Amino acid sequence: MSVDKYEVIIGCEIHCQLLTKTKAFCSCENRYGGMPDTRVCPVCLGLPGAMPRISKGYVELGAVAGLALNCNIAEFTKFDRKHYFYPDLVKGYQITQYDVPLCTDGYVDLPENGSYKRVRIERIHLEEDVGKSLHLEGAHSYIDYNRSGTPLIEIVTKPDMNAPEEAALFMQTVQEILRYVRVTEGNLEEGNMRCDANINLKIWENGKEFRTPISEIKNLNSFRSIRDACSYEVKRQLAEFDTDRQEFVLGFKRTMGWDEVKGETVIQRTKNSFVDYRFTTEPDIKPFTVSRELVEEARKKVGELPEAKRQRLKKEYGLSDFDVQTLTSSRNLVLWFEEAAKKSKDPKKAANWILAELLAVLNEKEQDITEIAIKPDHIADLVNIVCAGTITSKQAKDVFAEMIATAKMPSEIVKEKGLAATTNTDEIAAFVKEVIAENPKAIADYKSGKSNVVGWLMGQVMKKSKGKATPATATKLLNEELAKL
């Protein structure tokens, strides 16, 4: 092969299901699964005479997505019909947006090597989903129309990605943002988000520049399949360029699928002619203005995005990358943390309690942070009584367990159980003397220079006090006693 060098060019189209209560243009419930054809009506079955109406919240959710991805929101927009034939498309056309999309000119910054790579978004438009074909092996094919007419946005990027990993990271970043602003469930396995990747290569050979024909790989529904399918296409296109110049020169855009089992892309069709979708303005829905109030409402719902939040939390609270990543894994969790942090004398400690202890409890109970009985105030109270020296960190663990079990406030638990740590010097000094008297071997070791027994002796003092001794006082007294020996 005499290829000097090549560059990978990838652009994505992401279809994403929105979290409206009803379908896009009718009042059928918008939900995944269930018995086939149980959530259908004349509108989403495309029966003649049925009139579509834009569902409440549909345009606003689209605007939320657009603003979260830094787009401009159109002041005036419309729906269009896109005609084609396919069994899962009941009406013979899809209601979509053609020349006046709701959102344009956005971008997403992908974190890459300590900096950011910007991927531009050309447009985001609203459209309806189609039914779902079920091909049963050795039997018939069926179509479930529950999905027909559910609201989607389609996000179209510029061809700004230059590696398969980048395309996967793009999908991941968009998923995080759109989940965060509660536009979508973002569940890839349930097809809430599906990615089509357009990929080709720029190749330099003997000083000349070539471009391979674009492959559009359809319906990639995991980060891994995006990465693997694109990696496979890079190799396949390079090999094709090398062996078949003739076909290459005549190359048309190809539509491909990804066979996950074989790990290969499969040609579905070659677009060797212009496909006429016969776009026309949807006559049953009037073009409409997007009110500035709607856009302002949408802007409020976007709020601070996850990456900005991570950077701020790192700076404000001195948390690690890993910690902020975990805390921002869900919007509910990070808002909960921020409330606890605000009320805590030591916000970093509040983060530690949540990350190390509370998440383990949630995991075990398979609960979300919003489902648990304790509130951010509980964690703040716990942090504050430890900071004040009312209880020791060791006691705090027991108080935490009790708090989870009863949802009582930590200070209340301390009062009830008489747990308050003792700073009573005489009492602790007595424990220290007892420990020294009871452990002649350790003391002998200490005298012969093994200073690491001090930690062990400290442990014995704490044990004797049943965890009630404040470690600072105990350490001080123990060292004083040892110095006298």
Q: Contacting Zn ion (CB under 5 A), which of 44, 178, 382, 436? A: 44
Q: How far is the CB of 41 from Zn ion (least distance, A)?
A: 3
**Partner from Zn ion, Mn ion, none binding residue 154, C-beta < 5-8 Å depending on class:** Mn ion
The interface with Zn ion within residues 310-369 (CB under 5 A) comprises: none
Give the dihedral sign, CA 83/282/290/42: negative
**Partner from Mn ion, Zn ion, none binding residue 41, C-beta < 5-8 Å depending on class:** Zn ion
Q: How far is the CB of 42 from Zn ion (least distance, A)?
A: 7
The interface with Zn ion within residues 418-477 (CB under 5 A) comprises: none
- Structure tokens that stand for 473 in this block: 């006082």
- Return the H-helix or E-strand segment holding 456: helix 453-464
Measure the CA angle with vertex 23, ends 21 and 29; round to 5°: 55
For 445, what's the count of Cα atoms within 13 Å in the CB-facing half-sphere?
Answer: 13
Nearer to Zn ion by Cβ, of 150 and 225: the residue is 150
Q: How far is the CB of 46 from Zn ion (least distance, A)?
A: 10
Strand partners, 121: 106, 157
Closest CA to 329 of 300, 302, 354, 357: 354
Q: How far is the CB of 22 from Mn ion (least distance, A)?
A: 20
- Structure tokens that stand for 434 in this block: 């007892």
Q: How far is the CB of 404 from Mn ion (least distance, A)?
A: 47
- Structure tokens that stand for 431 in this block: 């424990």
Nearer to Mn ion by Cβ, of 151 and 376: the residue is 151
- Structure tokens that stand for 69 in this block: 């991805």
Q: Which long-range contacts (CB under 8 A, 24 or more apart) does 469-474 make?
A: 469/392, 469/421, 469/422, 469/427, 469/428, 469/431, 470/389, 470/392, 470/421, 470/422, 470/423, 470/428, 471/392, 471/393, 473/423, 473/425, 473/428, 474/428, 474/431, 474/432
- Structure tokens that stand for 247 in this block: 């076909």
Three-state DSSP class for 131? coil
Work out the number of other CB atoms within 10 angstroms of the CB of residue 374. 22
Q: Contacting Mn ion (CB under 5 A), which of 80, 128, 154, 160? A: 154
Strand partners, 141: 135
Q: Provide the residue type at 471 as one letter.
A: P
Nearer to Zn ion by Cβ, of 27 and 172: the residue is 27
Measure the CA angle with vertex 111, ends 7 and 354; round to 5°: 150
> How many residues line the site for Mn ion (CB under 5 A)?
1
Closest CA to 265 of 332, 215, 299: 215
Stretch of residues binding Zn ion (CB under 5 A), selected from 40-48, 159-167, 233-241, 295-303: 40-48
254 Cβ neighbours under 8 A, 6+ residues apart:
213, 214, 215, 216, 267, 268, 269, 270, 271
DSSP label at residue 18: -
Q: Pattern 448-477, binding to Mn ion, x per CB under 5 A?
A: ------------------------------
Stretch of residues binding Zn ion (CB under 5 A), selected from 28-36, 125-133, 184-192, 248-256: 28-36
Nearer to Mn ion by Cβ, of 154 and 402: the residue is 154
The interface with Zn ion within residues 229-248 (CB under 5 A) comprises: none
Q: How far is the CB of 333 from Mn ion (least distance, A)?
A: 33
Stretch of residues binding Zn ion (CB under 5 A), selected from 5-13, 23-31, 344-352, 359-367: 23-31
**Partner from Zn ion, Mn ion, none binding residue 28, C-beta < 5-8 Å depending on class:** Zn ion
Nearer to Zn ion by Cβ, of 145 and 232: the residue is 145
Q: How far is the CB of 129 from Mn ion (least distance, A)?
A: 9
Q: How far is the CB of 40 from Zn ion (least distance, A)?
A: 6
Q: Contacting Zn ion (CB under 5 A), which of 9, 41, 163, 443? A: 41
Q: Are 188 and 161 in contact (CB under 8 A)?
A: no
Stretch of residues binding Mn ion (CB under 5 A), selected from 33-41, 45-53, 149-157, 345-353: 149-157
Q: Are 95 and 281 in contact (CB under 8 A)?
A: no
> How many residues line the site for Zn ion (CB under 5 A)?
5
**Per CB under 5 A, 74 contacts Zn ion:** no
Tell me which residue has its CB nearest to Mn ion.
154
Stretch of residues binding Zn ion (CB under 5 A), selected from 36-44, 324-332, 362-370, 453-461: 36-44
Nearer to Mn ion by Cβ, of 123 and 464: the residue is 123
Nearer to Zn ion by Cβ, of 28 and 63: the residue is 28
Q: Contacting Zn ion (CB under 5 A), which of 14, 28, 183, 428? A: 28
Work out the number of other CB atoms within 10 angstroms of the CB of residue 443. 17
- The residues that touch Mn ion, with contacts defined as CB under 5 A, are 154
Site residues for Zn ion per CB under 5 A: 26, 28, 41, 43-44
